[in-house]
Amino acid sequence: MDSKEIGSGSSGADLLREIERLRAEKEELESRIHLLEAQIKPRGAAEDKSGSCSLSSLSCSQMNGATISCLSPEMIHRYSRHLLLPDFGVEGQLKLSKSSILVVGAGGLGSPVAMYLVACGVGCLGIVDSDIVELNNLHRQIIHTEAYAGQSKVKSAASSCHAINSSVKLVEHREALQAVNALDIVSKYDIVVDATDNLPSRYMISDCCVLLDKPLVSGAALGLEGQLTVYNYNGGPCYRCLFPTPPPSAACQRCSDSGVLGVVPGVIGCLQALEAIKVASAVKIRGRSPACLICGENAAFTREIFQSFDYENFTQSPMSDKSSEKLNLIPESSRITAIPKSMNIPLSNLEDKLSTIHSALKQAAQDSGKCASLFVVCRRGNDSQRAVDYLSKNGFPLAKDISSEKLNLIPESSRITGKEYNEIVNTGEPHVLVDVRPVHHFKIAAIPKSMNIPLSNLEDKLSTIHSALKQAAQDSGKCASLFVVCRRGNDSQRAVDYLSKNGFPLAKDIVGGLQSWSQDVDHTFPSY
């Protein structure tokens, strides 16, 4: 594709023509990309326009009669940071991957909701909206791009979601959610997120969720403020419990009338996504109002009443800001932590601070009467390596990086590599493998026949280890060995250090833990 050079002396008309040409080329490329993407979409992950949100079941692996993980290695790798959370873990991810969530509205609120739900691994996501993408949407509706201006918001949102996570099933509803179709659409989903911006829709969606017994996560944003609430969940209230009578129409402003700072619906939408995930993982929230006309003890609101209810008349405000005529209605970043007595010299300032370092070393030597050492630390070990490399060439040859230093608690004789342990397994040598990771880590993935004793419980489980070794020796007629493994090889060293001092002097740890096992022995073992 040829490109034309535009000189500094070009006229405004030439520049405009060039912009139009480039936009046309961009649209052509976008179209070709989507065609190619459609050819490689995995089965079950394509955008679904039929309205179906059925999900296939996940197969689970077992170890010693207990379920270890129902997640594929790809899912474990993708969602590893979720799985490390004790209060979420494998169970939370499984519940999320089996859930279906409907997002009503693909605008400022719906954009972050849809993107984060897809990124976090919801099983099926439905998006309903009848609107098209406009240029004045883009400052807050971050799911859309200029390439989709004039096209369906649902189509645009589905494309962005698929680009984030192609394994999630997407269902497109390119229509407005109204009383006549809401029951049919909402009934297909487990959870509903209200990302609309008008009062009649809020009442309608809430009433629909009460009739169908669906949890509802509702949000609103205007100006510099926003709010969100979870309705109809575990005995919780519905929208009418809080607002039995609609407020005056003059009190209900819209973004199109009063404005909104783009980031505000983004913040509220992120919190809505968080609440939807919490609901999918079962969290207790406050109870409902017994006197509510919709969800209360004596409620008589039926599906027939719902479908014929005039929500615009009830609220005296329109559902769409394009049809208002219908009703004739008038820093600085904070420091986190630092090692005590460390001095802060950013890498970018290092060249100008060599004399400062020299003076500090000289002072430390004078204070102690000994030659002082120079150590460098950073967050993850990259910048500190660069700093040591520079310092070693500029008068500090003995500088040492300690950011990425690995734990070295036990002698080499108390350690074996993953490959050496694999040989022990293959030759059938009697042994016991203790996995000292937390329980929720063990549920993600584990080496076959290993027993899980978290490091924090090790002191109370010495008799369990002794019994396991005794049983292994009886079964084989030989003395059984004891090996310890963890995620990356640090906790296993702590465990071996403790075991060696408490009756198990021959215990050994596996160097590098399960991370090395995955890299050096079993490449199919999930890395998280």
Numbered residues of the known binding site: 108, 129, 136-140, 153, 197-198, 238, 241, 292, 295
Q: Which of 108, 116, 103 is nearest to 264 (CA)?
A: 108
**What is the rounded distance in angstroms from the CA atom of residue 68 to the CA atom of residue 452?**
11
d(CA 445, CA 440): 10
* β-pair partners for 226: 221
CA distance 271 to 347: 36
CB 146 within 8 A of CB 138: yes
Task: Give the C-alpha separation, 212 to 104, whole Å.
Answer: 16
Annotated binding site for ATP: 108, 129, 136-140, 153, 197-198
Residues 6 or more apart in contact with residue 112 via CB below 8 angstroms: 142, 143, 265, 266, 269, 270, 272, 273
Contact 222, 130 (CB under 8 A): no
Given 70, 209, 252, 255, the catalytic residue: 255
Q: Where are the alpha helices (DSSP H) in 244-344?
A: 255-258, 263-280, 303-308, 311-315
- The pairing of beta strand 191-194 with beta strand 100-104: parallel
Query: By the 8 A CB rule, do 491 and 436 touch?
Result: yes
Burial class from Cβ neighbours inside 10 Å (0-12, 13-18, 19+) for residue 135 reads exposed
The three-class DSSP label of residue 321 is coil
Question: Residue 481 in contact with residue 506, Cβ under 8 Å?
Answer: yes
Alpha-carbon distance of 511 to 522, in angstroms, equals 15
φ/ψ of 109, rounded to 5, equals -80, -45
- 66-69 and 61-63 beta bridge pairing: antiparallel
Residue 486 annotated to the active site:
yes
Alpha carbons 120 and 164: distance in angstroms, whole number: 10
Which amino acids are annotated catalytic? 255, 486
